[in-house]
Amino acid sequence: MQSQIERPLLVNEEVRVVDERSLLLEEVNFKWLMAGMKCWIDMSRFRSDPSYAARYLKLAEESDSLELRKCAAALEAKNGITEK
């Protein structure tokens, strides 16, 4: 059996991987914080439908939860979501 040679990541690839992981963690956090408010989010649709994402981000921004508002702001910044 032949082993694969691991290729070191380039700096830009490393940054992209870190950004993708960070975004995924933020999305998971957002999903569970919203679930705590009895709002069930389809994350596939959240990622692909800006108006769907904006609706839930707006709801999060109006929440009494400081943690949820921070999370929503971080997602907006990372995704560049501006439609409301």
Count the domains in the chain. Answer: 1
Residue 75 is assigned to a structural domain of this protein: yes
> pTM for this one?
0.71
**Could you read off the pLDDT of 14-34 as tens digits, one per residue?**
556 657 888 889 999 999 999
Mean pLDDT, to the nearest integer, of 40-46?
94
Residue 26 is assigned to a structural domain of this protein: yes
**Could you read off the pLDDT of 57-80 as tens digits, one per residue?**
999 999 999 999 999 999 988 876
Check residues 26 and 5 and name the one with the higher pLDDT: 26
18-23: which pairs have CB atoms within 8 A and are 24 or more residues apart? 19/78, 22/78, 23/75, 23/78, 23/79
Residue 1 is assigned to a structural domain of this protein: no
Residue 64 is assigned to a structural domain of this protein: yes
Residue 84: per-residue pLDDT: 44
